[in-house]
Amino acid sequence: MQPTRYASFFKRFIAHLVDVILANLLIGLLVIPVALMFISGGVLSRTFSLQPWTIDPEVYPLEFLEMIFEMIPITFVVMWIVIFAFLYWLYFAVFESSPRQATPGKMMLGLFVTDIYGRRISFLRALGRTIGKVLSKAFCYLGYILALFTDRSQGLHDLLANTLVLEPDFSLAPPMVSRPPAGHPAAPAGETESVPPEQGPAPGQPE
C-alpha cells in the first residue's frame, strides 16, 4: 500500500480553486439554459428589438437593467440560487464519496478524502462535509486557514465531518533494487529483473 501524508495547505488551496471554477462552469452550462426557458419571452424579444443608436447612451444601460429586473420575478431568482447551491454541493459530495475519493481538482493534485481511519467516506458524510464549508468560508475563510494550525491539516469542515485530506508520500515509497544482469559474478542465476526489497508494513499510513 502506498504510504500517505496529510495534504499540504497550498495543494488544497489550488485544488479548491480548480474545483470552484469547474463546478461553476458545469452547473452554469446546465442551469442557465434551463433558466432562460422559464424567463418571460418578453425579455429576449425586447432585448433584440432595442436600437441603441436611437436611445441616449447615458440612459440606455439603466433602462436595460430596469427592464431585466421587471421581467424576472424575485421568486425565480431565489429558486435559481437555491438550485445552483444544491448542484454545487452535489458536485463535491458525489466526487468525494466516489471510488476515486476526490474531486477533479483534487485528482489533478493527487489528493483524496478519507475518514480518520483512511477509509472511503459515504455520500452523506461527503455532503455534510461540503455543507460544512459554508462555515469554513465565513469570516474570510478562517475555517480553511485553520488547516495551517491543526495537527492533521484539517479545516473546520474536516473537523466537523471527521475527515482527512491525504496525498501519497513518495519519499517513503520502497526503493527498487536493480539486480545485475545474468552471468554477472554478483548475480544469482536466473535473476535479471528489478524487484523491491522485502519490508514490513508501509509507514506513514493514516491512523
For residue 164, which phi and psi values (nearest 5 degrees)?
A: -130, 155
Residue range 12-23: mean pLDDT, rounded: 94
Nearest alpha-carbon partner for 15 in 90, 81, 101: 101
* Angle, in degrees to the nearest 10, between helices 60-71 and 41-49: 160
Evaluate if residue 59 carries a pLDDT over 80.
Answer: no
* DSSP states of the chain: ---EEEPPHHHHHHHHHHHHHHHHHHHHHHHHHHHHHHS-HHHHHHHHH--GGGS-TTTHHHHHHHHHHHHS-HHHHHHHHHHHHHHHHHHHHHHHTSTT-S-HHHHHHT-EEEETTSPPPPHHHHHHHHHHHHHHHHHHHHHHHGGGTSTT---HHHHHHTEEEEEE-GGGSPPPBPPPPTT-TTS-TT--S-BPPP-SSPTT---
Residue the block writes with cell 545485475: 180
Evaluate if residue 145 carries a pLDDT over 80.
Answer: yes
Residue range 8-30: mean pLDDT, rounded: 92
Residue range 44-48: mean pLDDT, rounded: 48
Residue the block writes with cell 454541493: 89
**pTM for this prediction:** 0.68
Contact 30, 87 (CB under 8 A): yes
Please report the pLDDT score of residue 140 as a whole number.
Answer: 86
Give the least confident one: 44-53, 103-112, 137-146. 44-53
Residue bearing the bigger pLDDT, 188 or 2 = 2
Residue bearing the bigger pLDDT, 25 or 33 = 25
Q: How far apart are CA 35 and CA 23, in angstroms?
A: 17
Strand order in the sheet with 112-115: 4-6, 163-168, 112-115
**Residues 95, 91, 107, 5: is their CA dihedral positive or negative?**
negative
Please report the pLDDT score of residue 139 as a whole number.
Answer: 84
Q: How far apart are CA 24 and CA 45, in angstroms?
A: 28
